Amino acid sequence: MDPQSEGRRELDSVVINVELTLASIIQGVALFFLTDNARAVFTLRHWASFPYVAAGLCVIFIFWSRSIIHTLTLIRWPMEFGHNFFYIGCALGEAILFSRLDDPLAWFQLSATYAAVVWLLFIYDMRLIHARVAEARNDADRALYARANADQLRNIYLLVPLLFFINLACALAIWTWPDLFITRGGHVWLISIQLVSFIAYLTYIGRHFGKIAQLLLQSRQAN
């Protein structure tokens, strides 16, 4: 066995473990802030805020599942610090977002800002895909990275922009017609739209992983 290849595999394993640990820890921190703010909402029985708690939980589900798929598919040695800094910044954004469960306007404003940061993260991570494509040594690797590239572009050009503009439109609607969406409780319809969009995106993530799971196995076996 080539000592250099073996050393590279060991470093790849270390980096993957670091990524998985970081993703789990920062989402655990985000969950703490969501739980802490949700407890206050439940105590005061602000029923209209309950969908916001569910939406917050979906945000955590989405980020964690995407980061796990990303790590298993693309992360290799050397460690990409910029990518990890984006992760930490997103965790900060989630913590701030979860502090606004009872403020619909601020919730959608922060949701749009968070979506914009995630959008930038997807764009930034294209460099990782290009690096993996350049390193591909067999058909299994090429098929896996082609699928990852297609998913990344779909997120950059369609899915994440759609989430961004949905949140921006909701924020503008509340700001323009506060009597309808705040005083008369119409914001519940807006958070319901957001929640449905999050559930739809989670469904997409599940289907995407189902498509690449076998490719991941074939790629590991080929290497």
- In total, how many domains does the chain have? 1
pLDDT beyond 70 at 1: no
DSSP 8-62: HHHHHHHHHHHHHHHHHHHHHHHHHHHHHHHHHHHHHT-GGGHHHHHHHHHHHHH
For position 127, what pLDDT does the model report? 94
Q: What is the pLDDT of residues 53-97, one digit of tens each?
A: 999 999 999 999 999 999 999 999 888 899 999 999 999 999 999
Query: What is the extent of the structural domain holding 155?
Result: 3-222
For position 211, what pLDDT does the model report? 92
Angle (CA) 192-194-195 rounded to 5° is: 65
Residues 6+ apart with CB under 8 A from 174: 104, 105, 108, 181, 182, 187, 190
How large is the average pLDDT for residues 195-219? 95
For position 3, what pLDDT does the model report? 57
The pTM (predicted TM-score) of the whole model is 0.94
Average pLDDT over the chain, rounded to an integer: 93
pLDDT beyond 90 at 142: yes
Please state, in angstroms and rounded to a whole number, the distance separating the CA atoms of residues 29 and 31: 5
pLDDT beyond 90 at 172: yes
Look up residue 49 and give its DSSP letter.
Answer: G
